[in-house]
Amino acid sequence: MGHLQELGMRQGWTYETIVSTFSHEVPHAAPIGVWTEQFNELHMEIYDSSHTLRNILDTGHFVANFPPDVALIHAALFHSAQLTFEPAHEIASPLLCGSSAAVELVLRQASPLPGRTRITGMAVHVHTREDIRLLNRAEGLLLESLIITTRLPHLDNTAARGTLAENYRVIRKVAPRSHYEEAMADVLRNVDVPS
Ligand SMILES: Cc1cc2nc3c(=O)[nH]c(=O)nc-3n(C[C@H](O)[C@H](O)[C@H](O)COP(=O)(O)O)c2cc1C
């Protein structure tokens, strides 16, 4: 069955996955960020307009598939006909082929928030491959921010500083208490952007 600990997720960090569900027996997939707190459940916040949310609430079953790279997220958004699925082991949901890991989930809680719903799924089966890849936005955001700092004299100053502040906000959200957060705070100090 496998355990969530095997994935190497850090508590409270958000990882980008592709959530697969059934919509009236038809497989459906959409990128969704997930995090864990106690390593027995995954949490996510899903916009109320989302088909994925409707499918989860209708069926009570869903799978968080961890893509090996961003290309699979691109395919899920723009080339869904290219995606292939197989049956999940413990639940009535499609499992996305080609993931580096996948977690089969049973809906435990759905809590309304403004414009979105916080979903908690209990992990009932964890699939892992040898080369598990976890995608977190903090590293890319820090890298982009470093590039922006080298270009500040040539960019629209207000817009560039706004982007740096926004990148810091997102880094703190997706990788709290990380070295990315520390490094980004240092970047802001160096270019005199309030954090
Ligand atoms: C990397 C990435 C992460 C995303 N994370 C979320 C998320 O956490 N919650 C959400 O509601 N939408 C998220 N989205 C947007 C949904 O994937 C997008 O709205 C999608 O069209 C929903 O599809 P659906 O209506 O078929 O479920 C994300 C998109 C990307 C590209």
Nearest ligand 1 atom, CA 44: 8
Average pLDDT over residues 164-191: 96
Q: What average pLDDT does the structure give for the chain?
A: 95
pTM of the entire predicted model: 0.96
* Residues in the ligand 1 pocket, defined by CB under 6 Å: 16, 30-33, 44-47, 50-52, 73, 77
Predicted pLDDT at 2: 67
Nearest CA to ligand 1 atom 30: 31
* Ligand 1, atom nearest to 29 Cα: 26
Residues ≥6 apart with Cβ < 8 Å to 59: 21, 22, 92, 93
Residue among 45, 50, 53, 79 to mutate when testing ligand 1 (max atoms within 8 A of CB): 50
CA distance 180 to 192: 18
Which domains are assigned to the chain?
4-128 (2.30.110.10), 138-190 (no CATH)
pLDDT value of position 101: 97
